[in-house]
Chain A
Amino acid sequence: MIEWLIGIFLAIGVIFNLLASVGLLRFPDVYTRIHAATKCTTFGTIFIVLATVTYAIYSYFWVEKDPSWITIGIHSALVVIFLVLTNPVGAHALGRAARKSGILPHGAVIDELEGRL
């Protein structure tokens, strides 16, 4: 039962991380690649960490009452918080730097930042 839950979490995480890599290869320019790379890796990593937390809680309550399981769970959960706080900021910085150095979005139907930065 618990193996299935952890397996499903891991599968979702790995599929979305794979999708991010495929997106890097398939999308035409830097902005759309940032789209794929940030959203999918953040989401996939959340699910991988969720699998770790589930495993830690399960091991503490049903296998062995060892507090180090709880430590593992809490530290993994903190990783999610820091990832969600920092990943979009990194994406924003990359996108802004690319636009400032004059890279135009590929095939854009509208570009409001033209001549502004």
Chain B
Amino acid sequence: MSFIAVFIWSFVLWLVLTAGSKGLLWSPEELIAGLIFSGVIALTTKDIIGEKASRFLNPAKWVGFVIYAIGPLFWGMVKANLDVAYRVITGKIKPGIVRVPVELENDAQYTILSNSITLTPGTLTVDACPEEKALYVHWINVTEKEPESSEVIAGSFEKWARRLGR
């Protein structure tokens, strides 16, 4: 099953990278070469990717990822950059490392949430502890020293991460 997941991912990447060799589409030689190369890659890396990766082959999840990237994540990045611009120019900072309790189940959700936190307003994930269900976040302007949930830090990102990484 993990073989199929890796194979599909690497073949899709091959298709995207080689589009345009015959008009706008792919020439047959390139398709065959892509099948062979993706097969080799899938055979060699299927143990690294792991058994659970095939749940990301669900198309509903891809739509979710695209909506998340264009909507909340991009808007969060816009706000983050205006915030950093303000702090670079005025120099008003009040930094600190705070502990943020989160309610997530698996590693994929932790990855999504901590990457989103790093890219959005004034926060940087320094350490993630799945065993105690907490993230340690360097906050550039601490307004609440012991947050009850990730609401003040990340807004709605925890809900999105829980949904996307399931």
Instruction: State the A residues within 8 Å of B (CB).
Output: 16, 19, 22-23, 26-29, 31-32, 34-36, 38-40, 42-43, 46, 67-68, 70-71, 74-75, 78, 84-85, 87-89, 91-92, 95-96, 99, 105-113, 117
A113 x B97 contact (CB < 8 A): yes
A-B contacts, 28 of them at CB < 8 A, read: A19-B81, A19-B85, A32-B93, A34-B124, A35-B122, A35-B124, A36-B84, A39-B84, A40-B81, A40-B85, A42-B119, A43-B77, A67-B21, A67-B23, A68-B20, A70-B19, A74-B20, A78-B16, A87-B119, A91-B124, A92-B118, A92-B126, A105-B138, A106-B95, A108-B96, A109-B94, A111-B97, A112-B98
Residues of B115-157 contacting chain A, CB below 8 A: 115, 118-119, 122, 124-127, 136, 138, 140, 142, 145
A88 x B96 contact (CB < 8 A): no
A111 to B118, CA, bound (A): 18
Partner of A109, one of B17, B21, B78, B142: B142
- State the Cβ distance, B16 to closest chain A Cβ, in Å: 6
A112 to B96, CA, bound (A): 8
Kindly report which residue of chain A lies nearest to residue B16, judged by CB atoms.
A74
A84 x B119 contact (CB < 8 A): yes
> If the complex has contacts A16-B81, A91-B118, are A32 and B97 also in contact, measured as CB distance less than 8 A?
no
- State the Cβ distance, A116 to closest chain B Cβ, in Å: 8
> Which size class do B's interface residues fall under?
35 or more
B94 x A22 contact (CB < 8 A): no
B114 at the interface (CB under 8 A from A): yes
- State the Cβ distance, A91 to closest chain B Cβ, in Å: 5
Instruction: Write the B24-36 contact mask toward A (1 if CB under 8 angstroms, else 0).
Output: 1000000000000
Main secondary structure of the interface of A (DSSP, over half): helix
B126 x A96 contact (CB < 8 A): yes
Kindly report which residue of chain A lies nearest to residue B125, judged by CB atoms.
A92
A19 x B84 contact (CB < 8 A): yes
B80 at the interface (CB under 8 A from A): yes
* B94: chain A residues within 8 A (beta carbon): 107, 109
A110 x B98 contact (CB < 8 A): yes
A28 to B91, CA, bound (A): 9
3 tightest CB-CB pairs across the interface, nearest first?
Answer: A88-B118, A67-B20, A110-B96
Kindly report which residue of chain A lies nearest to residue B136, judged by CB atoms.
A113
